[in-house]
Structure 1
Amino acid sequence: MRAVKVLSVIFMAVLFSIVTVAGSALAAKTIKLHHLNKDDPFDNPTGAMATVFKSLVEAGTNGSVLVKTFPSGQLGKDKDALQQVKAGVIESGIHSVGGFASVYPLIGILDIPFAFPNISKTYEVFDGPFGKKLAADIEKRTGLHVLGFGDSGGFFQLTNSKHPIHSPADMAGLKIRTMGLDTHKAIITAMGGQPAAISWSEVYTALQTGVADGQMNPIPIIAFAKFQEVQKYLTLSGHLFAPYVWTMNSKFWNSLTDNEKEVVSYAAKSAIVAGRGMGRVIEASDRGLKELSKTMEVNTLTAAEKETFKKAAVPAVKKLIVEKFGADGEELLNAFLKAVQ
């Protein structure tokens, strides 16, 4: 009888612990996180960001906040995912500037060609006072909370299937794929080419079939997209830096406890550092420039050649920004350029 009583007590204790664990699991908050690339931390920057973020959030909150990632655009294009974040259908997304412009067109003020002297300067600008100013303006105009600005893979470089590029004259007649941003189109036009706005999922086929002659992207993106299979020439122009914008639904952010907010915030910052590091590693490793140079003819613009492109492109893009965005755009542009300098 005593044994039965003891077993009953043990059974009730086990049952209580199961119920408690199940209750905790049900009570956990979940961050559904959208990004456009593979969920592989060694394949691409957003894969590294998502993986590090999930690990740090779940460990740091002791499981009170869980992260479920939706890679490779499973939830749709960036502009679709952005609307889902705004509506609270999902809680967070890591977005390209092309997609982000659908809710915040002013992101185009970042598209001044040849603005940054080196990659480390981009981190100073987006982690510093200007980054905070930009995040605050985004929240004010869109209602989205900004977790930070990631690295999409470094500076944009040019590829094409026709010939090497050394001057604006070499761009004449080349159809270059861009995001659907007016500023990106203006850059290509001013540099002598013909912009062709094509969605990311269609770029490889467009290059393969000749719908576009070339495109512009950072080295890691060129490599993991395997553009070397359909492009012959790579020009290291370093003419543009386009950050990822990492957002979170504001209502969900406000539902977090102070401790959870702290964990989510530092997890995002750490994840952004991881993404930057992975971009640099891919760029410098056998998977980056070295791999591309096996099948592509690579040339680097000289300082004088860069200056020729810069003189052609910068005034055109500045003019477009002021005309399109007015006083607000000009004020934000000046703040950006001041931060760079």
Structure 2
Amino acid sequence: MRIGKKLTVLIAVAALMLCSAQGALAAKVIKMHHLNKNGAFDNPSGAAAVVFKNLVESGTNGEVQVQIFPSGQLGKDAEVVQQVKDGIIQLGVHSVGAVGSVYPMISVLDVPFAFPNHAVAYEVFDGPFGKKLAGDITAKTGMKCLGFSDSGGFFQFTNSNHPIKTLEDMKGLKIRTMGLDTHKMLVSSLGGQPVSIAWSEVYTSLQTGVADGQMNPVPIVEFAKLYEVQKYLTISNHLFAPHVWMMNMDFYNSLTPAERQVVESAAKTAIVVSRGIANAIEASDRGLPFLSAKMEIYTLPESEKERFRAASQPVVIKYLEEHFGDEGKEMLNAFLDAIKEASK
């Protein structure tokens, strides 16, 4: 009798394990890539990812699961964009540099000194222009664009040679950029030498002198510990380059209407979270107050910023108009008009 009871228990446990395994197999899984460490308070993309995961899993009663692969575990960002397109993973939060490999016209966002402040940038990406751009990305790439989150705020210049206080101070500096032609052109127009380097290799390149400096938002300078290999930080606010949320279209289409609503709502909320965290970090002991003890910080006055703008903006706009033709001009004009409207 005792053996019979044990056998019954074992069968019951096995049945439960089988049901659990079948339930796990039945769940839809979103494998999610982002470039930075996971954590609700560590960095904008990490915060956005954990919030997205929580909202999707709770909103679908676990029918849709999210597995996060942070810190570029799946490869270089541009490589992972292709993995999303091929359906190897389902969702990526990508830099504009990576998105440029499948949607080159993302470069219209690279007009230097275009945004006056964060509020205008957020309004532009959440408004009609953002919807237009997301729709075009979806149509051209075959991937669903879910929106545009904050990569950490406005781009600033850092370097290890000398303070950048005037346009002339840029001359000859080897500045790391993403692979985008517009970023390289921006640096060249200011008198620097652009050096295209993958994000995973930036710290070592700055440490060894392959590059003198780089450009990124303040939170990225902090959490990537670039202050260890850079001495000078110049607050220039010259670019705002969002992270782009890209989902495999076949997977998106496999979701029920209710699941799609949850996923899209979760992405929108996560995007708002990324912006709050980016601004909070910049203003906290992990942002400018922290970096001021590690680096020499200088803010470009408006008069000098205008010199930077005059040297770089016409060059990039001319390139965009010539390179992308009428379609590029139309998207560029829509972008600039949206900024004017949001700035009123």
- TM-score of the pair, normalised by structure 2: 0.94
Amino acid at match of 2:87: G
**How far 1:25 sits from its partner (Å)?**
2.1
Matched, 1:196 2:202: no
Q: Distance in 2 between matches of 1:261 and 1:230?
A: 44
Q: Which residue of 2 aligns with 1:208?
A: 207
Pairing 1:1-341 to 2, within 5 Å after superposition: 20-341=19-340
Residues 163 and 15 of structure 1: is their aligned pair in 2 closer, same or farther, counting only changes over 3 Å? closer
**How far 1:24 sits from its partner (Å)?**
2.5
Q: Distance in 2 between matches of 1:14 and 1:215?
A: 57
Matched residue SS, 1:149: strand
Amino acid at match of 2:261: E
Amino acid at match of 1:216: M
Greater CA drift, 198-207 or 27-36: 198-207
Q: Distance in 1 between matches of 2:78 and 2:297?
A: 34
Q: Distance in 2 between matches of 1:283 and 1:236?
A: 12
Q: Distance in 2 between matches of 1:131 and 1:225?
A: 29
**How far 1:281 sits from its partner (Å)?**
1.2
Amino acid at match of 2:56: V
Q: Distance in 1 between matches of 2:18 and 2:89?
A: 28
Please say if residues 167 and 308 of structure 2, whose CA atoms lie closer than 8 Å, have aligned partners that are also in contact.
yes
**How far 1:190 sits from its partner (Å)?**
1.1
Q: Distance in 1 between matches of 2:296 and 2:211?
A: 19
Q: What is the CA deviation profile of residues 197-227 of structure 1, one whole-angstrom value per residue up to 9, with x for unaligned ones?
A: 1111111111111111111000000111111
Q: Distance in 1 between matches of 2:79 and 2:57?
A: 27
Residues 185 and 11 of structure 1: is their aligned pair in 2 closer, same or farther, counting only changes over 3 Å? closer
**How far 1:137 sits from its partner (Å)?**
0.4
**How far 1:277 sits from its partner (Å)?**
1.1
Amino acid at match of 2:257: D
**How far 1:15 sits from its partner (Å)?**
7.6
**How far 1:246 sits from its partner (Å)?**
0.4
Amino acid at match of 2:125: F
Q: Distance in 1 between matches of 2:324 and 2:153?
A: 26
Q: Distance in 2 between matches of 1:133 and 1:168?
A: 35
Amino acid at match of 2:29: T
Q: Distance in 1 between matches of 2:196 and 2:335?
A: 26
**How far 1:13 sits from its partner (Å)?**
8.6
- TM-score of the pair, normalised by structure 1: 0.95
Amino acid at match of 1:201: S
**How far 1:23 sits from its partner (Å)?**
2.9
Q: Distance in 2 between matches of 1:23 and 1:228?
A: 49
Residues 14 and 161 of structure 1: is their aligned pair in 2 closer, same or farther, counting only changes over 3 Å? closer
**How far 1:12 sits from its partner (Å)?**
9.2
Q: What is the CA deviation profile of residues 9-28 of structure 1, one whole-angstrom value per residue up to 9, with x for unaligned ones?
A: x9999887665544322210
Please say if residues 167 and 304 of structure 2, whose CA atoms lie closer than 8 Å, have aligned partners that are also in contact.
no
Matched residue SS, 2:227: helix
Amino acid at match of 1:178: T
Matched residue SS, 1:231: coil
Q: What is the CA deviation profile of residues 133-180 of structure 1, one whole-angstrom value per residue up to 9, with x for unaligned ones?
A: 001101111101011101000000011111111222111111111111
Q: Distance in 2 between matches of 1:128 and 1:19?
A: 48
Matched residue SS, 1:146: strand
Structure 2 residue runs without a partner (length 5+): none
Q: Distance in 1 between matches of 2:99 and 2:10?
A: 54
What root-mean-square deviation, in Å, do the aligned CA atoms of Structure 1 and Structure 2 show?
1.9
Amino acid at match of 1:174: L
**How far 1:189 sits from its partner (Å)?**
1.0
Please say if residues 97 and 178 of structure 2, whose CA atoms lie closer than 8 Å, have aligned partners that are also in contact.
yes
Q: Distance in 1 between matches of 2:71 and 2:156?
A: 23
